[in-house]
Structure 1
């Protein structure tokens, strides 16, 4: 199994004291002048520790409506403070053009030594897309999927061709040429998590890894696992129809405790936190894969997900740094990362 970690941004993880103080600074004009941003330093501490433990990638999500540092800016800064972990930036079709993402992506790939990868998103928050995309929201999920497909085709085309033409419904390129090229032939790896038919087909035909989903609560692990097996098999069949094999990722919140009772109490507290608002619910929903319990149980469930076809777990914790430490020292020795050997974990 490969392991990824969500960069600890305000909308991604449950707020903790260090995060709350950093958000307060971000929202106060003049606060923090002359020093490194506190929220950035928090992200650096977490990601570098994940790098020590052999994590393969960090997902730097884009929440333009939240008190988060912008993902491309954050990833560029992280490229200079990390050495091995790959940097997955999120990009919303409808907010930025694929031509601009192709140039920014090639730039970040170069300054990071080939560690850039991209999470492409069709968008789900109307107000966010309309505000930051200048009214570019599309109501029809099929249209959003079609636009995302064109978005990927334009990026891939510019990354791979000297003189690229594209005449689509949403994007047009007339003999376009990208003046710099990414390190990886064919362009950086692409990740997606769409659920509509159009988005699924785009993932199967064009992306390197598809993020699967589970819909039941944290107490339905066996049912979720069975459904995941079927879903992964269906997506692999779809990818095979395009002559491809697809990587499969799964996002999860991890709660590891010496006893199941302790873990369940913490899970209940996170679920209660998730009732606060729409953003808080994002963190709570990540309990669905059921990675809640003792180190031995978590290792058993990770092996089960791997057997079902999942090869990447994108993880989050709360408190982020402390619980990453618990996971790295108690669970990873039972199910070590496959992509790279762990560094200094003392």
Structure 2
């Protein structure tokens, strides 16, 4: 095949010092709130946001994965488009951006994923990737009739899943493969993909999760306990050292970050308080915390309140709240701390991305963190 047909995959290939992705537009906004500005998550809005991000030279468009809502049936947190189908459609309406499907490896067979991801790779001409998650939400496992294994066992299963997926992706001949989780015979996946391997992301935070990310992924997401850039720098260094010592490889280290941008710091803080505190969805957040953190009920009340605030604000992501100048300054500090990229969420993706493009991106370009988007 003509090499000119295959496009760069920006999450891997971009030369920007600080890379950017949009996260979670395939659902109803990056927050747990009843605020009327919450993103609709419908297909037409997804297309507009994807095309805008593509035009701006943002490196990635990353889906969230959700098979069951938090709390009662019908809750908006379950209105999340399936990520592989979604990615194929996004790939067809964009030109340059990496299109990333979040895939729950505990729930979906690697043979299906290999074929679906290769299809996305062909549609996108080499821009496909996956954000791998091992799963944790019991109702989703119940939906699939799958056992929710212990934490470390889920990652062990993920290792075995990756062994099958990688072989299916790379092999041009039939093969047999047997490990603890899978026994495949005369296995092959067609059609053949364009990339030698899709870009892989992972957000494992525990020591076992960090090992999984370092072994299999090109991008690992860290979740610092302290937003101070000095604490972020220490955490980033730990992740890099893990990958170098255990697997002899270099990986990118990213953060998820929610953005609340207004003309002034005071206006941004007031807007954040309104959607997070005044109109926040406390019931859904408590369901999420209780399901995700087994010892949550024994936490100090203050820490529980902080955690609830963080999830309502933006799924526990890093806060970028303030004026365009505030946000650009904080992003610069994160870059200085060694962060390679940010996966961004907004309450309203269309309005948020437009403001970010108008007033934050030029500042990042002036600071030498990013180059202006190339025109085609």
TM-score, with normalisation over the residues of structure 2?
A: 0.78
Contact in 1 for aligned 2:134/2:158 (Cα 8 Å): yes
How many equivalent residue pairs? 319
The offset of 1:295, in angstroms, is 1.4
Report what 1:68 is aligned to: 80
Measure the CA separation in 1 of the matches of 2:261 and 2:174: 52
Measure the CA separation in 2 of the matches of 1:141 and 1:325: 40
Distance change >3 Å, CA 202–CA 166, structure 1 → 2? farther
Report what 2:349 is aligned to: 320
The counterpart of 1:298, out of the listed 315, 327, 334, is 327
Report what 1:57 is aligned to: 60
Deviation track 1:190-218 (CA, whole Å, cap 9, x = no partner) reads 100012322211111121100111335xx
Report what 2:12 is aligned to: none
Measure the CA separation in 2 of the matches of 1:153 and 1:334: 43
Distance change >3 Å, CA 341–CA 207, structure 1 → 2? same
The offset of 1:178, in angstroms, is 2.0
Distance change >3 Å, CA 11–CA 125, structure 1 → 2? farther
The counterpart of 1:210, out of the listed 203, 213, 220, is 220
Report what 2:243 is aligned to: 239
Report what 2:13 is aligned to: none
Measure the CA separation in 2 of the matches of 1:153 and 1:257: 46
Deviates more, 1:207-216 or 1:165-174: 165-174
The correspondence of residues 143-292 of structure 1 with structure 2, limited to 5 A, is 143-161=153-171, 162-185=173-196, 187-216=197-226, 221-222=227-228, 225-241=229-245, 242-272=247-277, 273-278=280-285, 282=311, 284-286=313-315, 288-292=317-321
Deviation track 1:223-243 (CA, whole Å, cap 9, x = no partner) reads xx2232222111111111211
The correspondence of residues 67-106 of structure 1 with structure 2, limited to 5 A, is 67-106=79-118
Deviation track 1:82-104 (CA, whole Å, cap 9, x = no partner) reads 11111100110221111211111
Structure 1: gaps of 5 or more residues: 24-38
Deviation track 1:309-342 (CA, whole Å, cap 9, x = no partner) reads 2111110112221121111110000113967742
Measure the CA separation in 2 of the matches of 1:7 and 1:205: 25
Report what 1:120 is aligned to: 132
What is the aligned-residue RMSD (CA, Å)?
A: 2.4
The correspondence of residues 133-152 of structure 1 with structure 2, limited to 5 A, is 133-138=144-149, 140-152=150-162
Contact in 2 for aligned 1:7/1:47 (Cα 8 Å): no
Distance change >3 Å, CA 181–CA 295, structure 1 → 2? same
Query: Secondary structure, in 3 states, of the residue corresponding to 1:109?
Result: helix
Query: Secondary structure, in 3 states, of the residue corresponding to 2:100?
Result: strand
